[in-house]
């Protein structure tokens, strides 16, 4: 549980870097969820909560992209290196290898 708690906070710091409002909101939400469930004794419920927390960490790490308003009508996206993937061109008729 502690390992996952720390992982969520590390992911939060990486995903929301330089965004103090998002960092603080995510910190509060993580702490609140773990605090609300700290007295849970059912192994089944604990495993379910750990699965949810693990899924949240994966979604944060793989799906969230920061954006910055540069002008009134322009936004610049700031993707992290782990979000960038090689782009494979689309083929109508795949070739056999």
Q: Give residue limits of the domains in the chain.
A: 1-83
pLDDT in tens, 9-60: 999 999 998 889 999 999 999 999 999 999 989 999 999 999 999 999 999 9
Cα 41 from Cα 36, distance rounded (Å): 13
**Burial grade of 26 (CB within 10 A; 0-12, 13-18, 19 or more):** buried
| Alpha-helical runs (H) found in 16-71 | 20-36, 43-63
**pTM for this structure?**
0.74
Whether the Cβ atoms of residue 83 and residue 62 lie closer than 8 Å to each other: yes
Q: Which pLDDT band, with edges at 50, 70 and 90, does 81 fall under?
A: confident
């Amino acid at each position: 549980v502690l390992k996952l708690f720390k992982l969520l906070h590390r992911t939060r710091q990486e995903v929301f870097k330089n965004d103090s409002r998002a960092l603080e909101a995510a910190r509060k939400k993580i702490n609140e969820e773990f605090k609300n469930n700290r007295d849970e004794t059912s192994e089944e419920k604990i495993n379910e909560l750990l699965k949810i927390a693990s899924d949240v960490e994966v979604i944060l790490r793989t799906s969230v992209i920061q954006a910055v308003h540069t002008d009134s009508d322009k936004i610049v996206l700031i993707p992290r290196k782990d979000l960038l993937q090689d782009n494979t061109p689309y083929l109508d008729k795949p070739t056999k290898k």
